[in-house]
Homo-oligomer: A and B are copies of this chain.
C-alpha cells in the first residue's frame, strides 16, 4: 500500500523558497536601501525553517488545494481538551483581583512566585531533595532551552538524541555551538548525535558516544515516545559523572509515564551533581497557550572552576526574562493542588486512550508504531521511505497532518510522528481514514 520511495532529502533551497513566500512578503521591490549590518552568520546556518511553522505552511497549501477538506491534525503536539474548571477559575479569579487595590500585583520575582516554586518542589520532587530556590518558573520549556543556551554560550560541545525535539539543535546553531550543516543528512558538524531507534531500544549506545559538555536528553523522548528505564537513566547519569558533563533533561512529557519508570532525573542517585531538569505545564494541564514551565538547577551542579551553575542561570533569568505571567502562575499552583492534580491525571489518561486507538490502527495497517504508552506520541516506521514524502502522501490521501521524522534528526528519516493529542472523535475519524487505506 505504501509507496516505497528511494531515499532523498528535499533540498534545503527549495524549502526555503517555499517558506519565504509563505511567511513574509518579498521585499526586494519595495526599497533599494540596505543597512551596512551583516546578517548574523549563525542565523544563515540554520537549516530551513523551524519544523512546526513549516508544517503549518504545508497545511495552508493543502487547504488552498482542497478548500473543503476536513483536515485532522495529528501534527504539532497541541493539547485540545478544556482546562480543568478549578484551574481556569483560579486564573480568572486572579485576573479579576488585579482590578482591585488589594489584589493588584506588579512585577513578580523573575524566578517565579515563592509559593509555586515551593509547590513544585514539594509535589513533583518529593523526596528528591529539590529546594524551592532551585526551581525557576518559566514561560515554557522551549523558552528556557534558549535561555540555557545563552547560559552555556558558543564554546560548549553538545550531544542530542537522534531523533529529538529540534529546539536543542536549532538554539545551539543560533548560539554558535555547531559547525556546518551536512547537506546529505541535514546534521550539523560538532554535534554528537546519539542515535536512538528500534535497533537499540531507543536508548543511545553510550559506549560509542563521544564526551560532550552538555547532553540534551528528552525523556519521555519527543518524538519516539520512549521513556528510559531505571537502568538506562542510571547509565546516563553515570556517563555524565565519568565525563564531567551536564545533562539537560527535558521532562515536558513526564506526566504521561505509565510504566514504573523514573519521571525525574533526580530520582537517580547522583543526578543533582550533573543534571538540570526542564519541564512544562503545557502538556500536563493544557497550558500550551497559557505558557508556564520551570527549570531545576541544583546547587551542587558546578562548573570546572567550582562556580555554581545556578548563580549564572539566576543571572540569565534576571537579565533576559522577567518572570512568567502571574495569572498563569496562579493556574499552575492550582494544577498542583490535590484536587487539581487529580484532574491533571485524568487529562493525561484521556490522551493516552487516544494513543491506544492509534497504536491499534497502525498495527492493523501492518506498520510498526513505537511509543504511545509512556508518552502522547507514536513513532511510526516506514522502512525505506522518506518521511517528507510519507507526510505528503498521508496528507494527500487522508487529509491528516503528521510530522515527518526527519524534522527531528537524521535518524528520523523513515519515520513519522503522530500525536495522540486530539478530541476523541477526531482520533476515531483519523483512525477510520487511515484504516480505509487498507481496504
CB-CB under 8 A for A35 and B314, given A104-B81, A322-B139: no
CA distance A37 to B212 in the complex (A): 9
Q: Tally A residues with Cβ within 8 Å of B.
A: 116
Contact B50 A315 (CB under 8 A): yes
Q: A132 an interface residue at 8 Å Cβ cutoff? A: no
CB-CB under 8 A for A213 and B92, given A31-B300, A289-B108: no
| Cross-chain contact of A96 among B79, B88, B152 (Cβ < 8 A) | B88
Contact A107 B323 (CB under 8 A): no
Q: A98 an interface residue at 8 Å Cβ cutoff? A: yes
CB-defined contacts of A98 to chain B, threshold 8 Å: 82-83, 88, 91, 286, 289-290
Q: A296 an interface residue at 8 Å Cβ cutoff? A: no
CB-defined contacts of A428 to chain B, threshold 8 Å: none
Q: Using a CB–CB distance below 8 Å, which chain A residues touch chain B?
A: 20, 23-25, 27-28, 30-31, 33-43, 46, 49-50, 52-53, 76, 78-85, 87-89, 91-93, 95-101, 103-108, 110, 133, 139-140, 142-143, 146, 150-156, 167, 170-171, 174-176, 213-214, 240-241, 243-246, 273-274, 286, 288-291, 299-308, 310-312, 314-316, 318-328, 331, 421
* Nearest 3 CB-CB pairings of A with B: A36-B244, A88-B99, A146-B320
Contact B107 A78 (CB under 8 A): yes
CB-defined contacts of A88 to chain B, threshold 8 Å: 95-99
CA distance A139 to B146 in the complex (A): 15
* Copies of this protein, total: 2
Q: How far is the CB of A37 from chain B (nearest CB, A)?
A: 5
Contact A150 B146 (CB under 8 A): yes
Contact A325 B92 (CB under 8 A): no
Contact A24 B311 (CB under 8 A): yes
| Cross-chain contact of A39 among B37, B176, B307 (Cβ < 8 A) | B307
CB-CB under 8 A for A286 and B327, given A43-B315, A311-B24: no
Q: Which residue of B lies closest to A28 (CB)?
A: B306
CB-defined contacts of A167 to chain B, threshold 8 Å: 319-320
- List, sorted by A's number, 7 A–B pairs whose CB atoms are closer than 8 Å: A33-B302, A35-B244, A38-B303, A53-B318, A78-B106, A89-B95, A146-B150
Which of A28, A35, A84, A98 has the most C-beta atoms of chain B within 10 angstroms of its own C-beta?
A: A35
